[in-house]
Structure 1
Amino acid sequence: MGLFLAVAAGDLQTMGPAQPELHSNAINLVIGDESFVRTHGRPVPPGLDEDERIRIHLRYVEELLRRGPVEALAPALRAARARNLDRLSDYIRRGEFPRNDDHPDPRRPTFIDARGRICAVGYLLEQDMGRAAAEAIASMHKYAFLREIHSPVWAAWAKSSGLTFRELETIQPEYATRDTSPTQTFATLERVDGASQVVAAASIPFSHRGLGVRMEMFGQYLAPWLSDGSEVWYMGMYGAFSANLTDPAAGAGISNSDVGLFFVRNFPTWGRMILRNGFIVPTSTWGQRAGEEPEGAIAQRLNDATLVQPPTTGFRFSASQMLIYPSGDCCSVRIDVGADVLPFLGSATRVTPRIGAGLGVDLPFRSSSPMFAITVEGTMAWLPDAEGALVRKGQVAASVRLLGQRHTWWKRLRPGIMTAVPIGPGLPAWVLGLDLQLLVGPTSYSSCWYETTCAW
């Protein structure tokens, strides 16, 4: 308690001389990008996911420190060292790494960021000294390298940690200024965002024509796709289908399925681009004519309404751009364009275009998890009527989703609620939707490609 009060009084002591001009463009001030180079035998590739870069560094340093000599340490320090390395392993598994909120350096240590995510060394200190002590240090030294921290709490804890000052500096990552990993999942726009996930959704149109249920699965990345001589695109699989529980007279059925590949490119400074190339599989089980789709299916996802046809085969294309707010991952804007070409096998080929846009915002609860993600979205599609002519139909929607942490399976569950107003002939006046998103695989784009074991 006395040490904590000393921090609040003025941080009078220091571990070493202050060096305000310190900079590093690598992941670590002491060893640079040695962790990635030694692990994979090549330089850090463009577009590598930031969380994965941090994870690779921390795993490398953990293994390095576990091999370090401990014979000269007193028993208490030896036990503290083992305890802190176990804590570091837990921190890596949690995968909740901070970001440089607003420091002008492109990479900078960040003790605790605006969303309450704490750095690796800060986490070790927090386990012994408590969150209040960590936040007191962060209030004075948010962007400091360890050698720049003037704090008796920090000095005392470092001496008792069982780790040398250089070893602690070797752990400390430098975090990127901008984040290209948004947490928003849009309710009515494309769900393809790169994460390995299963989404089950149901929507109730407030009319007489029943319930629409949607199931979507987006798989793990298969491999990087080489572009311009560097690994900047990544490829994955997806699959989706809809069940429609309509009124008793119309019965129930499963729509045509949508399966294919998606490609994602991360742009480290401003966002990501997503391409989707799918194949419409004729699995429909009802015999309604085009233009007589059950409202439940259209209500859940207007963009997928062209799939709700008699058995047909075709292609589905889309391109999405996600723009990330440059000061962290609190906000994103998504713009979608796409088209279906169907039927591929049939008397005529029809192209049905669609467009959409949305804004997503995370509520910035400092030092708190879970959080909430809010989206506002709009879509427009040109869908066939009973005579085959294309009719413009639209939808405006809003959603709220609960965001949990990722280090346990139940915290990967992300329940959401959506309300939408479809606009166009043959659509319900109002829709209420519920869905449940489950992150089922590695939480970053390249976990299974760059690592020998996936970061589940």
Structure 2
Amino acid sequence: MPLLTFNSWSIESVNAVLGDISYEEKFGVLPNDKSNEIVRIQTHLEYVQNYLRANTPEGFTESALKNRLAIIDILSVYRKNEQFPSLTAPFPSRQPCFIDDRGVYCAVGYLIKETAGAEVAQGINTRHKFEYLLDMNDTVIDVWAENNGFTLTELAMIQPTYDGWYTPQPVIQPYTLTVAIDDTREKLLEAKLDTLQNDFDSISAVNQDQELIIDSLDKTLTSK
């Protein structure tokens, strides 16, 4: 595995620690708003999974490291299932989401649910739904990490962000649309009336000219 790099991180990166190094390494380019979301997350999780297998941290018990290997296997299953959270709130950039409104777990949330139970994971979600893992400062997560052979930085490496390419769309209320239509209709009618008035004035002018010509002819004939 290459050394970790932070150079490709941005607010639209799939991970706060690794940025988009996984995607860049696999495809040779950085992702953009047209990139497939599932592919981005799967690529990231596969990269982290391989990194975790190749790098064993020091200071953990034998039991914790055994748990670690089993949990990395669970992460592989999660990645292949392709069931990832999505955001329903209008965030301006990519955002972590521990458990989304459909009940879909993020990667770290899923690992905790599968090993410590859904109640524990849901409690973390209640406290830290949209937080980055290193900002949570949660004793429950600290203890879980210690018992299962992970550093908090490693858990932060796992945690993806989701659905950040959000562009707010203007909401058009029905009454606004009705007013707009009424205004347009009124303007069209006014324009039509103006045209008719102009036509009438033109006809009147022609009639006046014709009357003057007839009067002139009458006078000419009478004088003869």
What is the TM-score of this pair, normalised by structure 1? 0.33
Task: Please name the residue that 1:79 is paired with.
Answer: 66
Deviation at 1:36, TM superposition (A): 0.4
Q: 1:157 to 1:105 in 2, by over 3 A?
A: farther
Task: Please name the residue that 2:78 is paired with.
Answer: 91
SS at 1:53 equivalent: helix
1:124 aligns with 2:111: yes
1:176 aligns with 2:163: yes
Please identify the structure whose Cα radius of gyration is greater. Answer: 2
Amino acid at match of 2:95: R
Amino acid at match of 1:147: L
Deviation at 1:31, TM superposition (A): 1.0
**Match for residue 137 of structure 1 among 124, 141, 144:** 124
**Match for residue 165 of structure 1 among 152, 157, 161:** 152
Output the CA distance in 1 between the equivalents of 2:65 and 2:154: 14
**Match for residue 107 of structure 1 among 84, 94, 103:** 94
Amino acid at match of 1:114: D
Amino acid at match of 2:100: D
Deviation at 1:143, TM superposition (A): 0.2
Q: 1:116 to 1:128 in 2, by over 3 A?
A: same
Deviation at 1:129, TM superposition (A): 1.5
Contact kept in structure 1, 2:57 and 2:151, CA below 8 Å: no
1:59 aligns with 2:49: no
SS at 2:16 equivalent: coil
Output the CA distance in 1 between the equivalents of 2:90 and 2:70: 32
Aligned residues: 160
Output the CA distance in 2 between the equivalents of 1:66 and 1:143: 28
Task: Please name the residue that 2:133 is paired with.
Answer: 146
| CA deviation string 1:374-431 (max 9, x = no partner) | xxxxxxxxxxxxxxxxxxxxxxxxxxxxxxxxxxxxxxxxxxxxxxxxxxxxxxxxxx
Q: Which has the higher strand share?
A: 1
Output the CA distance in 1 between the equivalents of 2:127 and 2:74: 25
Q: 1:131 to 1:150 in 2, by over 3 A?
A: same
Output the CA distance in 2 between the equivalents of 1:166 and 1:89: 19
1:50 aligns with 2:37: yes
Q: 1:137 to 1:70 in 2, by over 3 A?
A: closer
Task: Please name the residue that 2:172 is paired with.
Answer: none
Q: 1:158 to 1:70 in 2, by over 3 A?
A: closer
Output the CA distance in 1 between the equivalents of 2:141 and 2:59: 23
Contact kept in structure 1, 2:85 and 2:100, CA below 8 Å: yes
1:32 aligns with 2:1: no
Q: 1:122 to 1:34 in 2, by over 3 A?
A: same
| CA deviation string 1:263-292 (max 9, x = no partner) | xxxxx557xxxxxxxxxxxxxxxxxxxxxx
Instruction: Using the TM superposition, name which of 134-143 and 97-106 deviates more.
Output: 97-106
Contact kept in structure 2, 1:24 and 1:174, CA below 8 Å: no
Superposed, which structure 2 residues align to 1:363-402 within 5 Å? Answer: none
Contact kept in structure 1, 2:95 and 2:130, CA below 8 Å: yes
Superposed, which structure 2 residues align to 1:309-348 within 5 Å? Answer: none
Amino acid at match of 1:143: F
Structure 2: segments with no counterpart, 5+ residues: 1-9, 170-224
Deviation at 1:78, TM superposition (A): 1.4
Deviation at 1:73, TM superposition (A): 3.9
Superposed, which structure 2 residues align to 1:234-383 within 5 Å? Answer: 269=166
Output the CA distance in 1 between the equivalents of 2:145 and 2:58: 19
| CA deviation string 1:53-94 (max 9, x = no partner) | 111100111111111135764211210110110010010011
Q: 1:68 to 1:84 in 2, by over 3 A?
A: same
Task: Please name the residue that 1:186 is paired with.
Answer: none
Contact kept in structure 2, 1:51 and 1:95, CA below 8 Å: yes
Contact kept in structure 1, 2:75 and 2:107, CA below 8 Å: yes
What is the TM-score of this pair, normalised by structure 2? 0.66
Amino acid at match of 1:96: Q
SS at 1:63 equivalent: helix
Output the CA distance in 2 between the equivalents of 1:141 and 1:162: 22
Amino acid at match of 2:151: T
| CA deviation string 1:215-266 (max 9, x = no partner) | xxxxxxxxxxxxxxxxxxxxxxxxxxxxxxxxxxxxxxxxxxxxxxxxxxxx
SS at 1:108 equivalent: coil
Deviation at 1:46, TM superposition (A): 4.2
SS at 2:86 equivalent: coil
Q: 1:70 to 1:169 in 2, by over 3 A?
A: closer
Output the CA distance in 1 between the equivalents of 2:67 and 2:39: 27
Contact kept in structure 2, 1:122 and 1:134, CA below 8 Å: yes
